[in-house]
Amino acid sequence: MDDDNVLLPEALSILVQAALASGADVLTCPMNLFTGNKVPRTVERVWVPLGGAAGAGVYRNVFGDANALWKKSAFLQLGGFTTDYGVGHEDWELFAEAVLRGLRLELVPKPLYWYRVNENGMLLSGDQWADHARSVRPYLRHDTQGIGLALAYGLFMDRQRAIGAQAPRRETGGWRVPFRVLHLAKDPTLRVRFIGVAKSQGLRSAVRRAFKRAEKD
């Protein structure tokens, strides 16, 4: 449970009943949103996740919030949250890893806590590119030749567009470099090297190296 959220009194009993009835490995639920230091008397906004939708989880966190009920054996099987200091999306990463490994993530269709929207919190004030690189990692681990690499490439291009809006563009031959990157991805040796760099130095470093090689070739 995030330390700035507020659990409803009936939350634990409902989650436990749902866990016993469903046999799910992970349970999440909708959340009531609020700002400030005081929980309001009436609900104005509710965020409803989808549950264990791995496909939709490619684009955004549809699994749920860190406020979740985990079966202990499932949590230990995945090794818990990764420890990337100052980087968010740890819940998105872990939920995606759980679903991609075949664990059951179910949604209790009832808001059971208040989620505090904090503009100074890590999610809104941190490095969104590092956050999204973290949530891409499970897909890269489980599908290195397909959707994982595509996600890594898409994230890099989004980052390049954001940087390009603030700084002069460097000529890279139009679409030659992106197509060259996809062509290089077919080489098993280069693909293994890409995965090795991603694991040891991070996803952004791996993608940056791939683009540098494509520019040289």
Q: What is the pLDDT of residues 132-156, one digit of tens each?
A: 788 888 888 887 656 666 666 666 6
In a domain, 132, yes or no: no
Same domain flag for 117 and 25: yes
Same domain flag for 40 and 97: yes
Residue pair 112/8 in contact by the 8 Å Cβ criterion: yes
pTM higher than 0.75 for the full model? no
Between CA 78 and CA 84 the distance in angstroms is 16
Same domain flag for 19 and 90: yes
In a domain, 136, yes or no: no
For the beta carbon of residue 46, count every other beta carbon within 10 angstroms. Answer: 11
In a domain, 177, yes or no: yes
- Given a cut of 60, is residue 172 above it in pLDDT? no
In a domain, 39, yes or no: yes
- Given a cut of 70, is residue 215 above it in pLDDT? no
Between CA 18 and CA 24 the distance in angstroms is 8
pLDDT computed for residue 4 by the predictor: 86
In a domain, 68, yes or no: yes
Question: In degrees rounded to 5, what are phi and psi of residue 33?
Answer: -100, 140
In a domain, 133, yes or no: no
- Given a cut of 90, is residue 216 above it in pLDDT? no
pLDDT computed for residue 97 by the predictor: 96
Helical ranges in the chain per DSSP H = 11-22, 72-78, 90-100, 122-125, 128-142, 147-164, 176-184, 188-201, 203-216
Domain that includes residue 193, residue range: 143-216
For 35, 116, 123, 125, the CA distances from 119, given in Å and listed in that order, are: 9, 10, 8, 7
Percent of the chain residues past pLDDT 90, beyond the cut: 43
- Given a cut of 50, is residue 44 above it in pLDDT? yes
Confidence bin at 55 (pLDDT 50/70/90):
confident
- Rounded to an integer, the average pLDDT of 48-73 is 91
pLDDT computed for residue 162 by the predictor: 64
Same domain flag for 117 and 48: yes
In a domain, 1, yes or no: no
Strand 105-107 and strand 26-28: the pairing is parallel
Same domain flag for 116 and 174: no
pLDDT computed for residue 169 by the predictor: 46
Domains identified in the chain, total number: 2
Mean pLDDT for the chain overall: 80
Select the more confidently predicted residue: 15 or 55: 15
